[in-house]
Chains A and B, each alone.
Chain A
Amino acid sequence: AQKITQTQPGMFVQEKEAVTLDCTYDTSDQSYGLFWYKQPSSGEMIFLIYQGSYDEQNATEGRYSLNFQKARKSANLVISASQLGDSAMYFCAMSRANFGNEKLTFGTGTRLTIIP
């Protein structure tokens, strides 16, 4: 079984600062995918970034980067130069195999609040 742990229920960050959201995972699979989603108060889950277990380079998408440390089973999300619009819930998730159409297992999320 797969498990995602997010230990930060809430975080407050000053606008324009960088922020790191923690995520650790547990799985016995050799091949898996790691995802981060953003959920604003409207409810829709917005895909941010993906990292495959065999990818040696950390994934980056604009201001988002995923700090993947396989030996430590961590997949932290880094947001550079935070903006007010980044205030939302953030969920880390994983899937079996390196395919996004496998079922996703989510963590409990981190509520990020950006302070002007």
Chain B
Amino acid sequence: DAGVTQSPTHLIKTRGQQVTLRCSPKSGHDTVSWYQQALGQGPQFIFQYYEEEERQRGNFPDRFSGHQFPNYSSELNVNALLLGDSALYLCASSSTTGSVDTQYFGPGTRLTVL
């Protein structure tokens, strides 16, 4: 049973560039959430996708956008990169069916903006 996978594992970009991060959810999960974790901090919720729609959004600017595909995989796009966007980006998947379930996280993509 494959867990949550993310690609790439590491990424280096320069200010002003655009980046796309990818996530495949755990088998059987239909909801994908994205979190940003700055160095020394806890993860911060960016947004969540369900049925190919953005279901919830945290306090992040419009430079952060996403997409969910029919197979439930998801992308996170960040435009006009700033130095402050350097962080570990975590994807988590969960299910809307059944009883209480938790979010299972992937290994993350470490983004460095120079």
Contact = CB atoms under 8 A, between A and B. Distances in A.
Interface in B58-114: 58, 88, 90, 92, 94-96, 100-108, 110
A43 interface: yes
B43 A104 contact: yes
B56 A109 contact: no
B31 interface: yes
Q: How large is the interface on B (under 10, 10 to 19, 20 to 34, 35 or more residues)?
A: 20 to 34
Contacts of B103: 47, 100-101, 104
Contacts of B102: 35, 47, 50, 100
Contacts of B104: 47
B42 A91 contact: yes
B43 A106 contact: yes
B42 A103 contact: no
B24 interface: no
A44 B100 contact: no
Contacts of A109: 41-42
Nearest to A44: B107
Contacts of A108: 40-42
A100 B94 contact: yes
Contacts of B44: 106
Given A35-B102, A106-B43, A107-B42, A101 B31 contact: yes
Nearest to B104: A47
A99 interface: yes
A60 interface: no
A102 B50 CA distance: 11
A37 B43 CA distance: 11
6 interchain residue pairs of minimum CB distance? A106-B42, A100-B102, A45-B105, A101-B94, A103-B45, A43-B108
Interface of A: 4, 33, 35, 37, 42-47, 50, 52, 91, 93, 98-109
Given A33-B100, A100-B100, A101-B95, 10 more contacts: A37-B105, A42-B107, A45-B90, A91-B42, A101-B48, A101-B50, A101-B103, A104-B33, A106-B44, A109-B41
